[in-house]
Structure 1
């Protein structure tokens, strides 16, 4: 299962020194602070698993991936692990807000100071997860970090309410007014608002134009997932004009953001039945 399932899925991990990968009794602000202090003391990286109870990919990770000796060896040796249920625990909600998390499981990979090395989402096989961990170790050594600030950001109230109080039905007008007042939409807070709240098509062209820069600044998952959502909307626009050539050109521009394996799946989804009229069946009459 690859990033295709990641976009629609959720799954994953914990904060225990022996990587039994079972949920802690309660993840709190205090336990998060202790995890960061432990990482600094032991000179290790931090692996955060944001999940929720009932998430099938998360349960699959716990059952099939985290117990694997290859995974436990890397996590035990080089990482302090932390797990939080984002529906039940305040610290999980805060971390989701900080990084504009929308899919689960989501994994945050950080250095000992809490700076983001990378963010990944969805089910990861043993091979995928170990590769992600090793890549993060190498990037940490090279000082290759994402642009997320380690300081608390002053988020607008509507964004905080969306993540901390579950009030996600933010009107476009509210978000748009805030975004238009910002000096740069590629800054951290505008970025997480656009991706975290799935701001509508009015920002699609901006996002695609800056996708490569955003990918470099904020990591793989948030950018590629949002780009795929935009491309699905763009498909409908190009279908109305019956312009497959221009749509394929747009896809070629976005292709470098994905692995070959990912793009094979995504391109197939995006090009399938291009221009074919969608038939809706009326369940009450049985007529088309």
Structure 2
């Protein structure tokens, strides 16, 4: 397991300070030690979930984390924890807990393990410092997401645990549907199963209808990522009837969840070659 490190400014570069090692502590003990350190130092927790070979992850390491403004803010306000989700058990557990699908994924928590926010993908210096500042302000106001603070594998069905812990992600749709049909999409476990496994097609309309509330409860990042998955599925349905007008109406309704930069990128992907015909995006 990667060493837990506290970011400090040294020659304007990111430095890692070893707090504990995998040889002496289990994954659960190491994670608990992070929370204890954050409590002792009256700081929040920043988690960077990545994997070796992830280009935007490497770019964050090279360009963003060493930036003096970023490094200074992290050092002053956060205990930083970094984990390779392909190699380290705690990284897999955290990915399972929050239904992580894109990398890098950033978790912002308090010392009790309560989630302040979740974000994913490469961020510029200004975007990332904005996330850090917003997390600090939300925590000060006591504003947290709905996730439970503890990681307990027994809270999840076995197929979901295996999907993340053993990388067995080809779960039969029937298995997922059987579990979900007696649950509400607003429940934490159901939410991460749907978003983490990109499952629950029959709940797509309900998810879209509840998106604002789900974003408040579980974070905007997970919700907008799944909305994109839903829109990709909807595209195939509208292509069968060649109904571009109705599909564009659906896209217009979904637009509010995205930043202008995100929407320019996602809408281009969704409108490209609709029904085999190249469509321009006005």
TM band (smaller chain): 0.7 to 0.9
Distance 2:136 2:264 in 1: 28
Matches within 5 A, 1:198-213: 198-213=198-213
Matched, 1:151 2:155: no
Distance 1:139 1:173, change over 3 A: same
How far did residue 242 of structure 1 move? 2.2
Is 2:146–2:217's contact at 8 Å kept on the other side of the alignment?
Answer: yes
Give unpaired runs (5+ residues) of structure 2.
Answer: 9-13
Distance 1:18 1:277, change over 3 A: closer
Larger relative contact order (C-alpha < 8 A, sep ≥ 6)? 1
Distance 1:124 1:50 in 2: 14
Is 2:208–2:227's contact at 8 Å kept on the other side of the alignment?
Answer: yes
How far did residue 21 of structure 1 move? 5.4
Matched, 1:174 2:175: yes
CA RMSD, 1 decimal:
2.0
Is 1:107–1:120's contact at 8 Å kept on the other side of the alignment?
Answer: yes
Is 1:215–1:257's contact at 8 Å kept on the other side of the alignment?
Answer: no
Matched, 1:15 2:8: no
Please name the residue that 1:187 is paired with.
Answer: 187
Is 1:101–1:196's contact at 8 Å kept on the other side of the alignment?
Answer: yes
Distance 1:28 1:96, change over 3 A: same
Task: Point out 4+ residue stretches in structure 1 off by more than 4 angstroms.
Answer: 21-27
Length, aligned pairs only: 265
Distance 2:46 2:205 in 1: 33
Matches within 5 A, 1:21-170: 26=22, 28-153=27-152, 154-170=155-171
Give unpaired runs (5+ residues) of structure 1.
Answer: 1-12, 279-288
Matched, 1:252 2:245: no
Please name the residue that 1:268 is paired with.
Answer: 268
Is 1:85–1:92's contact at 8 Å kept on the other side of the alignment?
Answer: yes
How far did residue 274 of structure 1 move? 2.8
TM-score (norm 2): 0.88
Describe the superposition over 1:209-259 as per-residue Cα deviations: whole angstroms up to 9, x where unpaired: 221111111102111111111111211211222222221221122111111
Is 1:14–1:48's contact at 8 Å kept on the other side of the alignment?
Answer: no
Query: What secondary structure is seen at the aligned counterpart in 2 of 1:181?
Result: coil
Distance 1:271 1:73, change over 3 A: same
Is 1:21–1:66's contact at 8 Å kept on the other side of the alignment?
Answer: no
